[in-house]
Amino acid sequence: MNITWALLMMALGSVGVQHNSHEADVTAALQSAMNPSIAAQHSSNPDASPNTAGGNEATPAPGATPDANASPGATDTAILTDPQPDAPKVKGIYVTAYSAGGSRMETLLNLLDKTELNSMVIDIKDDAGYITYKTDNAELQQMGHPQPFIGDINKLMERLKKHDVYPIARIVVFKDSVLAKKKPEMSFVTANGSVWTNKGGDSFVNPYNQDVWKYNVDIAKEAAKLGFKEIQFDYVRFPEGFEKRADTLKYTKSDRPRVEIISDFVKYAKTELEPLGVRVSVDIFGYAASVPAAEGIGQDFVKISKNVDVISPMVYPSHYSTGWFDVKDPDKNPYATIKGSMVDTHKKLDPLGSFKPIIRPWIQDFTASWLGSGHYVKYGKQQVEDQIRALKEKNVDEFLLWNANNRYTSGVDYEK
């Protein structure tokens, strides 16, 4: 279908605009929709309106990053070997730090013990920016704000090993209210001197700032030493709609395109973590495989994918709107929606050849009631299995299930 119309409908429909959102939110989404991209990032509440993200061809303001020409990781390196060659075909679930450190963990481990699921993606740095366990690392303590959501991280790792769980550490990178408030010079500052926040009250830190790069990679290094086999970076982007405020906010910047800054961070992280033998993965908007690069937020599907071991597009059917993949209501037809998204994903990544990463999508195990009556269905066994079947038919045999409350459907055949 026509991409501009698809993006417009996406703004009004399943992505970024809840049915009872304020008029201002709808207006902002429509404006972003007319740019090359709009989509929904992971939400901490599956029944809440996801964030929107848009981009255009705006030219970044001139400036200079520290030693911009010698940006860490700026040189391409071939990704030809898997740092985890003995890893299983990952079939995993998302686990909050609260669940990992609380009573729900018993239920989740039992789910993995009794099914084909074998992996957990656990928050190590969450959506607010909190490090989710007590660390002895003085630099991390100084930059972040460690919390005891996971009371004993070493005990957790032992528990995961006992149950033969493949552990993945989720690190939310540039969405970081904790660091932004602690060190405004690493964030985006408004004309009145306050740290910028989006409509949800969240702040981001500046992807141009290489101290931010190092901080997040240092957290990843500690996660690797704790025993995590893979580091999954999320929110690897500028704030939503950044192109509309790029020239008015105060922040350290260079004349390099935002898509290069983001891909350079990924290259840097991969280079730094490679000696530790862990995989590097990145979450990215699922629709990004179907539309041009999101210049505004700095996400280019191919540039990012080229520099990771695993790419995890978020292809939740509820995050596509009327007409995508010739489906009237994508949320009500998960099979066709997932299949269409995988066709586009392969088409986008096949030219990478040996650089092509493992494709491991995030799929939907939640009910998108915010879409409104007639536009969604209650997700259960059939809907989850339909998504897995579509992936398998397109030669994708790894996946991750997202449910922000960590309540996953029972009785699912994960080998469908």
Is pLDDT above 60 for 206? yes
**Predicted pLDDT at 416:** 78
In sequence order, which ranges of 232-280 are alpha helices (DSSP H)?
258-273
Q: Contact 402/384 with Cβ under 8 angstroms?
A: no
Q: Which of 25-29, 128-132, 313-317 has the lowest mean pLDDT?
A: 25-29
Model pLDDT for residues 231-269, shown as the tens digit of each residue: 999 999 999 999 999 999 999 999 999 999 999 999 999
81 band by pLDDT with thresholds 50, 70 and 90 = confident
Tokens of 378: 């209650």
**Predicted pLDDT at 287:** 87
In sequence order, which ranges of 133-209 are alpha helices (DSSP H)?
138-143, 153-162, 177-182
Q: How many CA atoms lie less than 13 Å away from 238 in the CB half-sphere?
A: 30
**Average pLDDT along the chain:** 85
Average pLDDT value for residue range 412-416 = 92
Is pLDDT above 70 for 379? yes
**Predicted pLDDT at 6:** 38
**Predicted pLDDT at 41:** 53
Average pLDDT value for residue range 9-16 = 33
Model pLDDT for residues 171-187, shown as the tens digit of each residue: 999 999 999 999 999 99
Give me the sign of the Cα torsion angle 106, 110, 116, 118: positive
Give me the sign of the Cα torsion angle 273, 274, 279, 285: positive
Tokens of 104: 């729900």
Neighbours of 344 (CB within 10 A): 20
Average pLDDT value for residue range 125-139 = 97
Query: Rounded distance, CA 271 to CA 95, Å?
Result: 27
**Predicted pLDDT at 36:** 35
Give percent of the chain with pLDDT exceeding 70.
Answer: 81
Q: Residues in the chain, how many?
A: 416
Average pLDDT value for residue range 49-59 = 29
**Predicted pLDDT at 210:** 97
Is pLDDT above 50 for 289? yes
**Predicted pLDDT at 415:** 92
Is pLDDT above 90 for 31? no
Is pLDDT above 70 for 63? no
**Predicted pLDDT at 155:** 98
78 band by pLDDT with thresholds 50, 70 and 90 = low
Is pLDDT above 60 for 291? yes
**Predicted pLDDT at 91:** 98
Is pLDDT above 50 for 111? yes
**Predicted pLDDT at 44:** 44
Is pLDDT above 70 for 24? no
Average pLDDT value for residue range 375-381 = 98
* Angle, helix 258-273 to helix 210-226, in steps of 10 degrees: 30
Average pLDDT value for residue range 80-104 = 95
Q: How many CA atoms lie less than 13 Å away from 222 in the CB half-sphere?
A: 21
